[in-house]
Structure 1
Amino acid sequence: VDTWWQTETGGIMISPIPYSTPAIPTFATLPLPGIQPALMDEEGNEIKGNQVDGRLCIKFPWPSMARTIWGNHQRYKDTYFSAFKNMYFTGDGALRDSVGYYRITGRVDDVVIVSGHNLGTAPIEDAINEHPAVAESAIVGYPHEVKGNALYGYVILKETGESRNQDNLRKEINQLISDRIGPIAKLDKIQFTNGLPKTRSGKIMRRILRKIASNDTSNLGDTSTLLNPEVVQEVMDNVIK
């Protein structure tokens, strides 16, 4: 199943109920009982109906929600409750399909503007991960002289893909993206890697990947707390210039 939750929510918020909710790959489906999600537009208006997308908020409290940030309650209010009045803003974008199922499209700040097009990284990663040779992927933007930004892909291959011709794999991955999303979303650079830098809770550290893709490695921040800090050097050593 695909589920949606955050550390701050204290538990799963949107998820299929086993043996009850018909599941669709990449969709977290429906909110659990008592959870009231809302999709908001940039002007702060709730977007009603189905077949819509917007910024994912929660409009009513739930028992396990974070209630403050230790020693800095104002930061808690500014981070989660300042973007939309009386709403908990998750920082994520989402779409709601024709039957009301929710699909998380990625962090709002993980949208990359390529040649004037707003591209969410999550749908592109979903498309890449459909390739039978791909185990996992992460997409970030990097500065481009013509497009403004271009897309850089970090891809972990399954064992069946490691023996494949890498140039052919790159072409197949971009063709898959073109078929699923459109040619504008194709990657300019694809780096095959054995791992991705992750936090101890399994979250990919895209901040680090963005800096590496942009050849800005002078200040990556503290990497010692990562689950696999040794991966950072490996990614840097094999970055595509």
Structure 2
Amino acid sequence: GAPASLRVISSTGEASNAEDYRWLMESTGVPVIEYCGGTEIGGGYVTATVVEPAVPARFTTPTLGLDFVLLDEDGMSGDTGEVFLVPPSIGLSTELLNRDHHRIYYDGVPAWSRQLRRHGDQMRRDGSGRYQALGRVDDTMNLGGIKVSSADLESALSVVDGIGEVAAIGSPPPGGGPERLVLFVVPDPAVEVTTEEVLTKAQSAIRVRLNPLFKVHDVVFVGSLPRTASQKVMRRTLRAEYDR
């Protein structure tokens, strides 16, 4: 059990795994409060709270003083889409070091009743109104005509024996064509496996837990996954490395 002084656990930085957090809450008896934001907004834009039931890997409300909308590729609001912030809000950046602030956050943003600001996260709102992080928009891939997020794939692979950490990317074949599913895997040091064995197990897990149409093209073993200072997995770096 948890020490008596432990009242709450906070989590941020990367799309979380519901099974991991369910285990953590059951083991400690305290809620895991999800919190998602960014350095450039001075904090978070969506969070869970201590006054609502804790649901693993879910947020319950926009943070105080900031609102957002979810827009699909056609700029229509819905229950799944890219996060666009609704300014103004204390903490929003006004410039970027060595980059064009307006181009990054405002160019090409869909027209709305108010000026929106691009954030880049992808979220899903479930039937109860709670939010689930699906990773970054550039972490979404198209497999066989079906769009799927890296977060969904990595969640399905969390049960695979021999996988310590995993990052899923979509990689086009040389010359273009449908994206191929590539897995960068940090092997579990307690389990001795080959890339072929992990590929077979991963394919089985995806078939059962996600979609039988998704095929694993390749498995690459790595010593660690590249991360930002805030511990977000840099899938774009992995994609560039694989496509070289």
**Fold shared by both chains (TM-score > 0.5):** yes
Structure 1 residues 30 and 157: alpha-carbon distance in aligned structure 2, compared to 1, 3 A threshold: farther
Instruction: Check the 8 A contact 2:41/2:93 in 1, yes or no.
Output: yes
- Over 6 Å off, 4+ runs: none
Question: Structure 1 residue aligned with 2:45, among 13, 33, 55?
Answer: 13
Q: Distance in 1 between matches of 2:81 and 2:39?
A: 21
Which amino acid in the other structure matches residue 205 of structure 1?
M
Q: Distance in 2 between matches of 1:70 and 1:166?
A: 41
**Cα displacement string for residues 156-203 of structure 1 (whole angstroms, at most 9, x for unaligned residues):** 23333x334654433222222222220233321122322112233323
- What residue number does 1:116 align with? 145
1:53 deviates by 0.8
Unaligned residue ranges in structure 1 (runs of 5+): 217-241
- What residue number does 1:46 align with? 77
**Cα displacement string for residues 97-145 of structure 1 (whole angstroms, at most 9, x for unaligned residues):** 0111111212222222223222222211122124464332111122237
Q: Which stretch shows the higher mean deviation, 52-61 or 26-35?
A: 26-35
Which amino acid in the other structure matches residue 157 of structure 1?
P
Instruction: Check the 8 A contact 1:124/1:185 in 2, yes or no.
Output: no
Structure 1 residues 137 and 8: alpha-carbon distance in aligned structure 2, compared to 1, 3 A threshold: same
Unaligned residue ranges in structure 2 (runs of 5+): 1-31
Secondary structure of the residue aligned to 1:105 is strand
Instruction: Check the 8 A contact 1:115/1:147 in 2, yes or no.
Output: no
Matches within 5 A, 1:202-217: 202-214=231-243, 216=244
Question: Structure 1 residue aligned with 2:110, among 68, 80, 84?
Answer: 84
Structure 1 residues 34 and 130: alpha-carbon distance in aligned structure 2, compared to 1, 3 A threshold: farther
Match status 1:175 vs 2:201? no
Question: Structure 2 residue aligned with 1:68, among 95, 98, 103?
Answer: 95
- What residue number does 1:33 align with? 64
Match status 1:93 vs 2:122? yes
Secondary structure of the residue aligned to 1:144 is coil
1:96 deviates by 0.3
Instruction: Check the 8 A contact 2:195/2:220 in 1, yes or no.
Output: no
- What residue number does 1:4 align with? 36
Q: Distance in 2 between matches of 1:95 and 1:10?
A: 23
Match status 1:56 vs 2:83? yes
| TM-score normalised by structure 1 residue count | 0.74
Q: How many residues align?
A: 207
Q: Distance in 2 between matches of 1:65 and 1:107?
A: 19
Which amino acid in the other structure matches residue 158 of structure 1?
D
CA RMSD of aligned residues (A): 2.5
- What residue number does 2:167 align with? 138
Q: Distance in 2 between matches of 1:71 and 1:144?
A: 33
Question: Structure 1 residue aligned with 2:226, among 185, 197, 202?
Answer: 197
- What residue number does 2:13 align with? none
Structure 1 residues 132 and 95: alpha-carbon distance in aligned structure 2, compared to 1, 3 A threshold: same
Instruction: Check the 8 A contact 1:142/1:150 in 2, yes or no.
Output: yes
Which amino acid in the other structure matches residue 3 of structure 1?
Y
| TM-score normalised by structure 2 residue count | 0.73
Instruction: Check the 8 A contact 2:47/2:62 in 1, yes or no.
Output: yes
Instruction: Check the 8 A contact 2:195/2:219 in 1, yes or no.
Output: no
Match status 1:23 vs 2:50? no
Question: Structure 2 residue aligned with 1:152, among 158, 169, 182?
Answer: 182
